[in-house]
Amino acid sequence: MIPVEFPRRLATLLLRFAIWIAPYDTHDWGHGMLSELNHVEGNWSALLWSLGGAGVLAKHAMLAVILPGSHRRTVSSASELFSKEIPMRKPALAVIASCVAVSLLLFLAPVFRQAFRVSLAQWHDVFHVKQSFGYPSPDLELDALVKKAEQNQDAEALAFVAVRYPNATERTRLANEAVQLDPNLTWLYAVTGTAYLSPSEIDRRVSLLKQWDPQNALPHLIAAQRIGAAVAYSKEFPLGKLEERPAWEKEMDAAFQSPKLDNYLDRQKQLDHRVLSRYRLGDPFQAVSGEDWYGFPNYGVGECSLYAQSLLESGKSLESRGDRKAAFEKYWVVARFGQMMGDGAGFTFVMRKDIKEAYARLGALSQMEGNNGAAAFYAALADQFDKAADKQRLLLRNRFQGSDVSHWNAFLVRLSGLLVLSCAVLLLLCALGIVVRSRSLRLSSLRPSRLTLTLGFGAAVGSLLSSAVLFVSYWPYSELLQRFLSKGDDAGLFELSAFLRDIQLPLGSQFNLGPVSWYVASWSVVFYFWFAVTILCALAILIAVVRHFQTRPRASVPA
Amino acid sequence: MKTPRLSPQTLRVLERFIERPTAWRYGYELSRETGLKSGTLYPILMRLAKYSLLETKWVTTEDGVPPRHTYRLTPNGVELVRATFANSRAALKVRRPAFSGGRA
């Protein structure tokens, strides 16, 4: 419940503050408005009266900054600066100094430094830091790590960089060097992907992977994907004709017959943990490489479905010809591969329809054979698979989209990071303004105007508050990272990854929190930003020119 | 003599002043009579004072109540307002036959 007198008290305070920042020649008017406040009927009407008056005075205060000649009264000497007659100045300066000192002290905490650095990621698109015209720029930290790794002949560190390095040629070289140093890292060829590689290089890698891990379906899927890509670029496009290619069919058949499907993500996480700990790397962006994809690498996901459909068609054809045993085998291959995908790669939802159909056909065939127990077993497996696929889809969606908490924290970190920067810039401008006005660096000759003091005060307090919000919002993610770095616990990496994905978007481009959501393309936000910067620069030049002509000494005209 | 731009709101304020040219008026009283908010009224008063068309004075009304800022038109202000309103009336008289359609 708001006290009845509260609006009138607020109105008085507001007007008093407005008079305080207003130029000297408007003080009489301000006090006039204040005295009238005693005669305004109604407390809320008094507040409205005060708001209008304060607006007028604030406008004059701003104009006094832009256009000199409003006869603003400033502190004329150090004695007046700390005099008892203007009690606001000394506490204000003390508060400004304390806030700035505490904000700077926060930078001594590694978590805060990391939080600030992470909050700067939103500027990468604006200043093309990580990307330049669509091409990734070299990463200085990774370059330094490559040098160390090459000096130490550290295959694991080279593998760590190879997964992350933005340049494809360098990525290939590093992967080859790592595998050459330690053949146990051959799995790296599957993790680094096949983008920008020549067909012969892909074939070489597939051959090595097949030798190194003959039980795994993954090398066959990589080979099938290469053939599929070749078809996509040839006249045989669309992919519907893939199954006519014997080589593709051979690889897919081998993949479906393989006893396991391992995408090596567990090995990669273990290696990441070891390298990050060994080199004491604390960059969260390096720790979470690849979490935002569906169990990346997802070779041949679409082609698996295509091949499964061809197997189902073939099974139905065999069934219609009366060869139930051969049909059963076809259906079983599809169902088994579906189970294997669910265990290893985690993208069963792509083939959900095909696998359910395979179970249904297996059940129907068992029933035809009079084996009701087996039919019930397949029905139970289908049901189990369906539920698991549902759960997996939900899990992947959550991992990919992130939770409301991560969206909200990412928003807070971006906003508070932006405010810290803005407040710092405003403080610097205030300090610069005072020095330029006073034309001296001596404290005794500095003459801050009341508006400058108010702006400086606001910026200092804002800087402290936004630093605190930045620290608190980032803290949980720092804990998740520390858990991975110290114990190898990667359970929180998906949450961290979703958070960092949001962090990299410029503020204002996307917001997704429950019912409140909007989307503006990042490049639009970048355009608006630079447009606003251009307009502000033009305004600043205009004000400087106006001030120059207003303050230059005029030659006296002889009578 | 330089004169400010006479917006409809400024004319409304001047109309109130010219009713009793010698009387000192309060800000809140003017606001109520003209229906203008403080954010509109005070810039007008400040502009009129800047052009020396308005004079201001602090007056003490009763014990314990802070003095009030009061406003009155200067002789220049009264002259300008009278001329402005006389011109308006003349313009209206010139136009009237055209609007009245010969019935006047």
B18 within a domain of the structure (yes/no): yes
Task: Measure the CA–CA gap between B81 and B4, rounded to whole angstroms.
Answer: 12
Q: Cα Rg for chain B, rounded, in angstroms?
A: 17
Order of strands across the sheet that contains B54-59: B25-26, B68-73, B54-59
Question: CB neighbours of B43 closer than 8 A, spacing ≥ 6?
Answer: A56
Q: Answer yes or no: is B103 within a domain.
A: no
Q: Are A406 and A291 in contact (CB under 8 A)?
A: no
Instruction: Give the pLDDT score at A344.
Output: 52
CATH classification at residue B73: 1.10.10.10
A28 neighbourhood in chain B, CB within 8 Å: 56, 69
Going through A123-219 in order, the beta strands assigned E by DSSP cover 131-132, 135-136
Neighbours of A85 (CB within 10 A): 6
Distance CA A216, CA A9 (A): 76
Evaluated on CA atoms A81, A86, A91, A97, the torsion sign reads: negative
Query: Which 14-73 residues of chain B touch chain A by CB within 8 A?
Result: 26-28, 31, 37-40, 42-43, 45-46, 56, 65-69
The b-or-e profile of A221-234 (16+ CB within 10 A means b, else e) is: bbbbbbbbeebeee
Alpha-helical segments (H) within chain B: 8-19, 27-34, 38-50, 75-100
Please check whether residue B52 lies inside any domain of the structure.
Answer: yes
> Could you read off the pLDDT tens digit of each residue along chain A, which spans 559 residues?
677 788 899 999 999 999 988 888 888 999 999 999 988 988 999 999 999 999 999 988 877 766 655 444 444 444 444 443 344 466 777 888 899 999 999 999 999 999 999 999 888 877 765 554 444 455 777 888 889 999 989 999 999 988 888 777 888 899 999 999 999 999 998 888 777 778 888 889 999 999 999 999 889 988 888 887 776 666 554 555 555 578 888 888 999 999 888 888 888 888 988 998 888 887 888 887 655 444 444 566 677 888 888 899 999 999 899 888 899 999 999 988 888 876 555 556 667 888 888 999 999 889 888 888 888 888 888 888 888 777 777 777 776 677 788 888 998 999 999 999 999 999 998 888 878 777 776 766 677 777 788 888 889 999 999 999 999 999 999 999 989 888 888 888 888 888 888 888 888 777 666 667 777 777 788 888 889 999 999 988 888 887 777 666 555 545 4
Instruction: Using a CB–CB cutoff of 8 Å, tell me whether A42 touches chain B.
Output: no
Tokens representing residue A418 in the block: 């932006």
* Cα B75 → chain centroid: 13
Q: What is the DSSP letter of A41?
A: S
Kind and range of the H or E element at B69? strand B68-73
Contact A53 B56 (CB under 8 A): no
Q: Which domain holds residue B14?
A: 8-92
Which residues of chain B does A31 touch, with a Cβ-Cβ cutoff of 8 Å? 69
The 8-class DSSP code of residue A137 comes to P
Whole-angstrom Cα distance, residue A378 to residue A366?
9
The answer to whether A379 touches A359, Cβ cutoff 8 Å, is yes
φ and ψ at B54, to 5 degrees? -135, 135
| Amino acid occupying residue B91 | A
Q: What pLDDT is stored for residue A23 in this prediction? A: 84
Residue B91's pLDDT is 61
B37 with A48: Cβ contact below 8 A: yes
- What is the C-alpha separation between A46 and A52, in angstroms, rounded? 10
A48 contacts in chain B (CB < 8 Å):
37-38
Which one, of A502, A497, A498, lies nearest residue A517 by Cα?
Answer: A502
Number of domains observed in the structure of chain B: 1
Does residue B98 belong to any structural domain of this protein?
no
Q: Are A353 and A386 contacting, i.e. CB atoms less than 8 angstroms apart?
A: no
How much is the pLDDT for A522?
76
| A62 in reach of chain B (CB within 8 A) | no
Task: Measure A525 CA to nearest chain B CA, in Å.
Answer: 35
CA dihedral A215→A218→A224→A228, nearest 10 degrees, is 170
Nearest CA in chain B to A37: B28
Q: Among all chains, which residue has been given the structure tokens 């429950």? A: A514
Minimal C-alpha gap between A49 and chain B (Å):
6
d(C-alpha A341, C-alpha A349), whole Å: 10
Residues of chain A with Cβ-Cβ distance to B39 below 8 Å are 51-53, 55-56
**How would DSSP label each residue in A94-135?**
HHHHHHHHHHHHHTTSHHHHHHHHHHGGGGHHHHTSSEETTE
- In angstroms, rounded to a whole number, what is the distance separating the alpha carbons of residues B27 and B70? 7
As beta bridge partners, residue B26 has B70
**Interaxial angle between packed helices A168-181 and A155-164, expressed in degrees from 0 to 180 and rounded to the nearest 10:** 160
Residue B55 lies in a domain: yes
* Partners of residue B9 in chain A, C-beta under 8 Å: none
Q: A381 with A335: CB under 8 angstroms?
A: yes
- Given the structure tokens 């959501």, which residue do they identify? A517
Chain B environment of A49 (Cβ under 8 Å):
28, 31, 37-38
Counting as low any pLDDT under 50, the low residues of chain B are 96-104
**Contact state of B38 with A33 under an 8 Å Cβ cutoff:** yes
Q: Which residue of B has its CA nearest to A49?
A: B38
Q: Does an H or E element contain A49, and which?
A: helix A43-66
Q: Is the ipTM of this complex over 0.90?
A: no
8-state DSSP, A151: H
pLDDT value of residue A266: 83
Helices (H), A233-351: 246-257, 265-278, 284-287, 301-320, 324-344
Peptide bond preceding A297 in cis form (omega within 30 of 0): yes
Are A162 and A178 spatial neighbours (Cβ–Cβ below 8 Å)? yes
A40 interface with B at CB cutoff 8 Å: yes
In this prediction the pTM is 0.64
Per the DSSP assignment, residues forming a β-bridge with B70 are B26, B57
| Of A26, A36, A56, Cβ closest to residue B28 | A36
Among A26, A39, A53, the residue with its CB nearest the CB of B38 is A53
Closest to A291 measured CA to CA, from A490, A125, A478: A490
As a three-state string, the secondary structure of A396-437 is HHHHHHCCHHHHHHHHHHHHHHHHHHHHHHHHHHHHHHHHHH
Q: Dump pLDDT digits (tens) for A427-479.
A: 998 888 878 777 776 766 677 777 788 888 889 999 999 999 999 999 999 99
Beta carbons of B69 and A31 less than 8 Å apart: yes
Contacts of A375-380 spanning 24+ positions with Cβ under 8 A: A378/A335
Closest chain B residue by Cα to residue A55: B39
Considering the domain boundaries, does residue B75 fall inside one? yes
What does the alpha-carbon distance between residue A195 and residue A217 come to, in Å, rounded to a whole number?
20
A-B contacts at Cβ under 8 angstroms: 55
**Cα(A368)–Cα(A365) distance, integer angstroms:** 5
What is the tens place of the pLDDT at every residue in A73-107? 444 444 444 443 344 466 777 888 899 999 999 99
> Would you say residue B23 lies in a domain?
yes
Mode of pairing for the β-strands spanning B25-26 and A516-519:
unpaired
Q: What share of chain A is helix, strand, coil (3-state, %, to 5)?
A: 75, 5, 25
Please check whether residue B99 lies inside any domain of the structure: no
Three-class SS of residue B55?
strand
Q: Which residues of B touch A34 (CB under 8 A)?
A: 66
d(CA A319, CA A242): 24
Sign of CA dihedral A358, A359, A361, A365: positive
Q: Judge contact between A188 and A178, C-beta under 8 A.
A: yes
Q: Is B87 part of the contact surface with chain A (CB cutoff 8 Å)?
A: no
Nearest CA in chain A to B39: A52
Q: Is A29's CB within 8 Å of B37's CB? A: no
What are the distances in angstroms from CA A257 to CA A61, A265, A303, A453, A474?
79, 22, 15, 76, 47
pLDDT digits (tens, 9 = 90+) for A136-147: 455 777 888 889
Q: Which two tokens stand for residue A445?
A: 């000759």
For residue B86, the tally of other CB atoms under 10 A from its CB is 10
Contact A53 B65 (CB under 8 A): no
